[in-house]
Structure 1
Amino acid sequence: MIETDSAVRREVVVDVPPARAFELFTADMTSWWPADHHIGSAPIAEIIVEPRTGGRWFTRHEDGTETSTGVVVVWEPPGRFVVTWQIGADWKFHTDLVTTVEVRFEPVGDGRTRVRLEHRDLDAFGADAAAMKETFEDPGAWQATLRAYASVAS
């Protein structure tokens, strides 16, 4: 059997130290997450990553509804965190679908940080795996999300 690497990897360098980069990424996601990247029927009011292993990653919408994205599986500030991404190809939350997003924060000198994002386990999308990888590789997906983050972080 031939194994293939289905992960999508993106990175950006920001002009803040790792602790600040981590804090902005996790505790202030609402300030930079692209407004059109959500699954709820109402606009985003707040994006929350609960700061602990087992914490929820979810969006609270302007109409008071909440939509889940996943859960925190690793919480190691300021170096990295790992969350599940449980949004299916139908752009709805699925308890039985688990892909993984890992974000690492690496110092690169002069108070700057390289932020590396890896979205893996895309085979969990089954028949939709190739299409979802293509979606996540699109410049308007993770790349645009990290660009938005970098514009706020720098």
Structure 2
Amino acid sequence: MPEQPIPDVRKSVTVRASVEECFKAFTERLSDWWPPSHVLVRKERAGLAFEPGVGGRYYEWDVEGTEVDWGRVLVWEPPFRLAMTWRVNGRFESIPDDERASEIEVEFRPVDARTTVVELAHVKLYRHGDDAMRIFTALDGRSPGETLERFAKVL
């Protein structure tokens, strides 16, 4: 699929917590901050999880145990970096594999021992093909965006 000129979407938030606390909360406490409107399962969501390490899934499951993958971990460098595929189409529905998935990169940069800048970037949006511009427009709203705002509040 040829690359199209779809810019990356970058958001950031400054959090009053150490870089270690931020990485741990991002990867282990998803249910505390993940927006309730960001759901891929068809029934009521029961949980969210990361499988740590490169190749691990990040996924959700519903009350009946049906699992849906949001993507696969590409980079796992605690407590500073995390990257994963994002298996979502232009209607914000699950896609089954990484062939048309974009990527999410998350960096945790310490400002001092108790303050961290968390930057989240949606990259390679062109991989969504005809849906790429629709996804870019939906993601490129005000900063830091609902997801990072919720994340900062739990810490």
Instruction: Provide TM-score, normalisation by structure 1.
Output: 0.91
Alignment of 1:2-151 (within 5 A): 4=5, 6-90=7-91, 91-95=93-97, 96-139=99-142, 143-151=145-153
Shift of 1:92: 2.0
Q: Which amino acid aligns with 2:104?
A: V
Pick closer, same or farther for the CA change 1:5–1:127 going to 2, 3 Å: closer
Contact 1:98 1:124 in 2 (8 A): yes
Aligned residues: 151
RMSD (Å) for aligned C-alpha atoms: 1.9
User: Contact 2:71 / 2:84 at 8 angstroms: preserved in 1?
Assistant: yes
Counterpart Cα distance in 1 of 2:134 and 2:58: 24
Q: Note the residue ranges of structure 1 that are not aligned, 5 or more in a row.
A: none
Show structure 2 runs of 5+ residues with no match: none
Q: Please, what TM-score do these two structures have when normalized by structure 2? A: 0.90
Q: Report if aligned partners of 1:67, 1:93 keep a CA contact under 8 Å in 2.
A: no
Q: What's the CA shift for 1:30?
A: 1.1
CA–CA distance in structure 2, aligned partners of residues 30 and 142 of structure 1: 19
Q: Which runs of 4+ in 1 moved over 4 A?
A: none
| Partner SS state of residue 134, structure 1 | helix
